[in-house]
């Protein structure tokens, strides 16, 4: 068996999938060391992995980014915030990440490093041509494929692929403008890599990062990602990670209603703002409950993903509608098999979990990579893209009516469920690190 390092940016959406991978490899008998945020130490131990915390400022807590990055709060949400995050949340820790990888390798001669594709210390090690020894480098992307292409719109705004030469030309011009606007980010990252003794090659940033790895694995299927005729040869679609079994958690007292709702001729709509952007439930959860209030044919479940979520919700919306039920933490693996529709802000992992159950979607996305996830939901036909993070009550009511009334959305979600089931991401990764992939 092999020695393997698994490394992740200390953000839950990046760390969670890498911990699943680490646990799978450890379960196969490999000796796995997990490098990540200190708050994930217990989870690494539960996965039977050795653990090393990221050093110093690289070990921030994503539950309170304002504490580690107070200046971030002054940057507007949207392209400016994305650029700031690229430089400082993901870029600045790269030298410390690389130094820690080098220290680990001196005592733990791993044959492979599996890293979150925005763990830029892993990118730096992949690019380090002066390294005396470099393991097999396997990057795992936990968000939509960022690679620019002549066959797609530039990444970020959430635009659909071009349908004619006029759109293709317009997108090419937009890509040039965005590249110019993004030059300060690239220059910042180039200086950051240089402090670690690594040269960042010229070219589109996302492509440079992807091509640096020996293998770049995208956690999705072709049916949920735009076709590209110029895709690098090391990029591979491996499907989503298997849906984890539901944990033993206390379920809300209203849970038995889910077992009888279909017998009553009713359907279940689940709404969530995910595990990160859930501090202000008036963005999506509250307007959804208002939009669907009075619908006796629906049971609406607000999954707040916060221990204080029910209290926050009832403070924002005194007197929940009769057809609504609320919960703090509730396992999606237990909830989504009952769902007829998921309304969410477009987290990549949550969307894939829904599709893994064949559940169609309504997406209200605004920040980070979520507009790109929403666009892929629209393009794949598995749901509706509301093109805003704060939809109106009226637009939500209309979207729910449309998706529940038109069986094509469920059909496309079911097709993606079947496609996801045909892929075996964990087996691919295990084969690669064992030298047989």
For the chain, the domains span: 3-142+148-203, 257-421
Helix axes 120-127, 183-195, angle to 10 degrees: 70
Which residue's structure tokens are 């990046």?
14
At 129 the pLDDT is 67
Distance between CA 190 and CA 203 in Å, rounded? 11
Give me the pLDDT at residue 436, please. 63
- Asked if the domains at 3-142+148-203 and 257-421 fall in one CATH topology, the answer is yes
Is the pLDDT assigned to residue 197 strictly greater than 60? Answer: yes
- Does domain 3-142+148-203 fall under CATH 3.40.50.720? My reply is no
Lowest mean pLDDT among 22-36, 66-80, 343-357, 418-432: 66-80
User: What average pLDDT does the chain have?
Assistant: 91
Q: What does the pLDDT average to over 226-232?
A: 95
Residue 84 has pLDDT above 80, yes or no: yes
Buried b (16+ CB within 10 A) or exposed e, 87-126: bbbbbbbbbbbbbbbbebbeeeebebbbbbbbbbbbbbbb
What pLDDT is attached to residue 282? 83
Cα separation, 270 vs 285, whole angstroms: 10
CATH of domain 257-421: 3.40.50.2000
pLDDT at position 437, please? 59
Give 263's pLDDT tier (boundaries 50, 70, 90): confident
Q: What is the pLDDT of residues 121-153, one digit of tens each?
A: 999 999 986 656 789 999 999 999 999 899 999
Residue-level pLDDT at 250: 77
Confidence band of 246 (pLDDT split at 50, 70, 90) = low
Please compute the mean of the pLDDT values over residues 68-87 and round it to a whole number: 86
Q: Is the pLDDT of residue 366 over 70?
A: yes
């Amino acid at each position: 068996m092999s020695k393997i390092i698994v490394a992740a940016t200390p953000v839950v959406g990046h760390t969670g999938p890498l911990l699943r991978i680490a646990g799978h490899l450890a379960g196969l008998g490999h000796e796995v060391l997990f490098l990540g945020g200190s708050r994930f130490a217990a989870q690494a131990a539960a996965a039977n992995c050795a653990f090393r915390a990221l050093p110093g400022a690289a070990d921030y807590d994503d539950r309170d980014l304002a504490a580690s990055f107070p200046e971030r709060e002054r940057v507007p949400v949207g392209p400016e915030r994305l650029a700031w995050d690229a430089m400082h949340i993901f870029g600045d820790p790269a030298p410390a990440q690389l130094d820690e990888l080098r220290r680990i390798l001196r005592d733990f001669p791993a044959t492979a490093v599996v890293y979150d594709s925005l763990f830029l210390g892993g990118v730096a090690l992949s690019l380090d041509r002066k390294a005396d020894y470099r393991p097999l480098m396997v990057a795992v992307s936990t968000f939509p494929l960022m690679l620019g292409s002549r066959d797609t719109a530039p990444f970020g705004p959430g635009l659909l692929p071009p349908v004619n030469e006029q759109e293709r030309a317009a997108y090419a011009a937009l890509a040039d403008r965005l590249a110019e606007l993004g030059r300060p980010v690239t220059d910042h990252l180039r200086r950051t890599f240089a402090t670690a003794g690594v040269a960042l090659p010229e070219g589109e940033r996302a492509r440079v990062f992807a091509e640096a790895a020996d293998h770049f694995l995208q956690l999705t299927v072709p049916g949920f990602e735009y076709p590209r005729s110029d895709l690098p040869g090391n990029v591979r679609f491996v499907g989503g990670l298997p849906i984890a079994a539901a944990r033993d958690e206390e379920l809300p007292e209203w849970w038995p209603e889910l077992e009888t709702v279909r017998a009553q001729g009713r359907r279940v709509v689940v709404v969530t703002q995910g595990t990160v952007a859930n501090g202000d439930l008036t963005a999506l959860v509250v307007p959804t409950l208002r939009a669907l209030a009075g619908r006796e044919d629906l049971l609406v479940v607000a999954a707040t993903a916060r221990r204080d979520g029910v209290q926050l919700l009832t403070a924002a919306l005194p007197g929940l509608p009769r057809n609504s039920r609320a919960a703090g933490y509730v396992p999606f693996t237990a909830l989504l098999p009952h769902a007829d529709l998921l309304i969410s802000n477009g987290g990549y992992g949550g969307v894939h979990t829904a599709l893994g159950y064949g559940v169609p979607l309504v997406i209200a996305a605004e920040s980070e990579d979520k507009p790109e996830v929403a666009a892929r939901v629209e393009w794949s036909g598995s749901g509706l893209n509301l093109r805003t993070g704060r939809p109106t009550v009226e637009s939500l009511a209309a979207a729910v009516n449309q998706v529940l009334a038109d069986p094509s959305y469920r059909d496309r979600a079911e097709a993606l469920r079947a496609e996801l089931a045909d892929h075996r991401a964990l087996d691919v990764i295990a084969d690669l690190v064992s030298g047989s992939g």
